[in-house]
Chains A and B, each alone.
Chain A
Amino acid sequence: MTDHAAVPAATAPRPRRQSTVSRRVRKGAVGALWALAGILLVMLMWELVKWVGTLVSLPFNTNDLSMPHVWTMFSGAWQPEVRGSDTTVLQAVLQSAAYSLLIALGGFIIGVSVGLLLAIVMQRFAFLERGLLPFVIASQTVPLIALAPLITGIGNRISIGPVQWSTTYSVMFIAAYLAFFPLSVGALRGLHAPTATSLELMRSYAATPRATLFKLRFPASLPYLVPAMKVSAAAAVVGTVVAEISTGVRGGIGRLILEYSREATSQPAKVYVAVFGAIVLGLVAAGLVTALDLYLTRNLPKESPA
């Protein structure tokens, strides 16, 4: 019985789709454990430094006012925010962090859209790349502290119909201003990523620039776009917090840090809780982008060229 029909499968590597998922989950769990260990280590170091400070004289203050105990911070989180109020410090911090996250998210979305749009026109028209890129780079050399009052000043005079500009928009604008830059540079690199052969292939199909953008350049740019989005998200968060402080806008974590630091002499733990709130805010933002990353690159081989 000759039963060996042409089997082209003989040389094919096995697909590795299922194993990838479980491997990712395992990797995630291991990563979480390491992160937890890292946090514990930092707490330990903190207390160690405080303890050493009681034995020898260190060049900085290690007293409970400057460096409250880890447990003081934990218990401080559960204190009422102001005497007699029924919101705890933790609640106030989380609320402010959530508020800032929304602003940062808005800034991120605007920044990503603008950055992507810039990258697309710069890729499409070489003269725009030459003309625009220096301004894109120069935009990031303007110090944020100088920019913030300027934007608030100009913004406050804007009203479109019934919509009145609020300082919150200024904060969002500043977040977007910081977020668009890494994205546009990364996206530009990504849009230039397709090989000459792929581009000739599209040309041989008489594909329109639009079809080439959506069917080739954009998918090919993802390995560059995704890391750029991570940097942009971080920039949006930092931009939001700093802009909140320098514009003095209420409701966000930036302002809260400012207020709590004024109370540091009486309640030193409070400002630390607020700082942790800012860190959590950054982590949540990074987590959201990672989720987006997993979704966008689900069809790509896992080795990233970038």
Chain B
Amino acid sequence: MTTTTSDLAVQAQGIWKVFNAGLANEVTALQDIDLVVGRGEFVSLIGPSGCGKSTLLRVIADLTDATQGSLQVAGMSAAQARQEQRYGIAFQQAALFDWRTVRRNVELPLELQGWDKGRRQARAMELLEMVQLADFADHRPWELSGGMQQRVAIARSLAVDPPLLLMDEPFGALDEMTRERMQNELLRIRQETGKSIIFVTHSIPEAVYLSDRVVVMSPRPGRITDVIPVSLGERDDDTREAESFFESVTAVREALRGNPSSPARARVGEV
């Protein structure tokens, strides 16, 4: 080991996840996954339904156990990282609590950490400023549009200021226009906060636009078939129409088809 593990947001080695092991309906959801995410890096997991990308995210979040393999999150075990709130998480459903105001939804993780009321409120307002929803602090979640709800969920995931953000198709339920706005907003937040982000999606342009690296997965059994680095530099709305953007999109698409366009991408993992 040359780098110290704490320099890495996530370090996974030989991760397996087998559901219903030993039964007739046994499913290998993850097979021998190696994944390293550096600090401040933005990595997308992409693949068709059932390729295990969400399962991998949930293993990293310690929402489910890996059957086998070693995993370090923020330099500690996944369970410890969860206990110590070293990551924030956002799902496809905003999962805001209807009975709480927008502000108190953002306060929820802080409340559970035992922050006192004044600090909690100040921090929640700060985050709502960041996602430009400060005016809606006292509204109820059901009074907000889908995109606004998702911004509240992102603010909530940042509440305890974790170094790592785990996002499971957070924009999956949004319309295309809102989605692109949210992507820009996420990149802005990333720049402001320097978070490491693991982002699950099944949209190729989304993965390319957002990421430093796109991890391509394939199903039955779920495994990593390719890792495609993306170097688009500073993103703006022109990026979406740039030549280099389309090149990367093509590269990811071909990788998803299992059609490596260069010998460098023929990879291990094929048994």
Contacts and interface: CB of A to CB of B under 8 A. Distances in A.
Q: Do A and B come from one complex?
A: yes
Interface of A: 6, 8-9, 11-13, 15-16, 195, 197-198, 200-201, 203-207, 211, 215-216, 219-220, 222, 299-301
B140 A201 contact: no
B83 A206 contact: yes
Chain A to chain B: the 6 pairs with minimum beta-carbon distance, closest first: A197-B95, A219-B99, A299-B99, A301-B142, A204-B89, A197-B93
A266 to B, nearest CB: 58
B167 to A, nearest CB: 12
A282 B75 CA distance: 63
Interface in B122-176: 132-133, 135-136, 139-140, 142-145, 147-148
A74 B268 CA distance: 92
22 contacts: A8-B135, A8-B136, A8-B148, A15-B139, A15-B140, A195-B93, A195-B95, A197-B93, A197-B95, A198-B97, A200-B58, A200-B89, A200-B91, A204-B82, A205-B112, A206-B82, A206-B112, A219-B97, A222-B99, A299-B98, A299-B100, A300-B98
Contacts, number: 75
What band does the interface of chain B fall in when counting residues whose beta carbon is under 8 Å from A? 20 to 34
B266 interface: no
Interface in B99-119: 99-100, 108-109, 111-113
A216 B97 contact: yes
Contact of B108 (A12, A215, A301): A215
Contact of A12 (B61, B63, B145): B145
A299 B96 CA distance: 13
A74 to B, nearest CB: 47
A13 B92 CA distance: 21
B143 A12 contact: yes
Most chain A CB within 10 A, of B83, B89, B113, is at B89
Most chain A CB within 10 A, of B89, B95, B109, B143, is at B95
A80 B119 CA distance: 67
B85 interface: yes
Contacts of B135: 8-9
Contact of B133 (A8, A198, A211, A300): A8
A215 B107 CA distance: 12
A135 B133 CA distance: 51
B87 to A, nearest CB: 8
A211 B91 CA distance: 21
Nearest to A303: B142
A200 B54 CA distance: 13
Nearest to B80: A206
Contact of A197 (B91, B133, B144): B91
A13 B63 contact: no
B95 A11 contact: no
Given A201-B89, A219-B97, A12 B111 contact: no
A300 B82 CA distance: 30
A211 B61 contact: no
Nearest to A222: B99
Given A206-B83, A206-B85, A201 B132 contact: no
A215 B140 CA distance: 16
Given A12-B144, A211-B112, A205 B85 contact: yes
Contacts of B140: 15, 299, 301
A301 B139 CA distance: 12
Contacts of A220: 97
Contacts of A8: 132-133, 135-136, 148
Contacts of B136: 8-9, 12
B111 A215 contact: yes
Contacts of B112: 205-207, 211, 215
A59 B268 CA distance: 91
Contact of B61 (A204, A219, A222): A204
Nearest to B88: A204
B266 to A, nearest CB: 37
A15 B97 contact: no
A207 B89 CA distance: 14
Contact of B147 (A11, A205, A207): A11
B111 A201 contact: no
B200 to A, nearest CB: 14
Nearest to A201: B95
B148 A200 contact: no
A11 to B, nearest CB: 5
B237 to A, nearest CB: 15
Contacts of B108: 205, 215
Nearest to B93: A197
Contacts of A216: 97
Contacts of A222: 99
A207 B97 CA distance: 15
A216 B109 CA distance: 12
B175 to A, nearest CB: 11
A121 B117 CA distance: 31
A299 B132 CA distance: 24
A70 B132 CA distance: 66
Given A201-B95, A205-B108, A215-B108, A13 B85 contact: no
Nearest to B159: A205
A299 to B, nearest CB: 5
